[in-house]
Structure 1
Amino acid sequence: MTVASNVKQCLITIKGIEAQLSSLALNSLDKEAQAVFHETSLTMADMKKDLQYRVLELERQEPQYKGS
């Protein structure tokens, strides 16, 4: 698996984790748990943004990875 493929797979995983944490925050009855899930979801959103930027950089540097 190429570096670009690994980064893209990681991005997909991060998106899933972010969605699960958001869901847990919405469905939790415990206010403290809601806050922790929400805060962690925001952290994952920051990571997602960084990885999306990295994917764009990889595609710019290595055009053969674009769209794969």
Structure 2
Amino acid sequence: MTIATSVKQCLANIKGIEAQLSSLALNSNDKGAQEVFHDTMITIASVKKDLQSRVLELERLEPQYKG
């Protein structure tokens, strides 16, 4: 498995985690838990943004990894 493939797979996992945290925040009855899930989701969104930038950089540097 190439580095680009690993980074893309990690990005897909991060997107799934972000969606799960969003769902947990929306469905929780406990206000404290909602805040924790929401804050964690924001942190994950930042990580997702960094990984998306890295994927774009990898694709720019190594055109064979596009797609």
Normalised TM-score (structure 1): 0.98
| Number of the residue aligned with 1:35 | 35
- Residues 1:10 and 2:10 are matched in the alignment: yes
In the alignment, the residues of structure 2 paired with residue 66 and residue 16 of structure 1 have an alpha-carbon distance, to the nearest angstrom, of 21
Residue 43 of structure 1 and its aligned partner are, at CA, apart by 0.4
**Other-structure match for 1:20:** 20
CA RMSD of aligned residues (A): 0.3
Distance 1:22 1:43 in 2: 12
- Residue 28 of structure 1 and its aligned partner are, at CA, apart by 0.2
Name the CA distance, whole Å, in 2 between partners of 1:47 and 1:33. Answer: 21
Aligned-partner Cα distance in 2 for 1:7–1:20: 20
Task: Spell out structure 1 runs of 4+ moving beyond 6 A.
Answer: none
When normalised by structure 2's length, the TM-score is 0.99
Deviation, 1:24, is 0.1
1:9 deviates by: 0.1
Kindly, what percent of the aligned residue pairs are identical?
76
| 1:61 Cα deviation after fit | 0.4
1:5-59 deviation digits (Å, cap 9, x = unpaired): 0000000000000000000000000000000000000001000000000000000
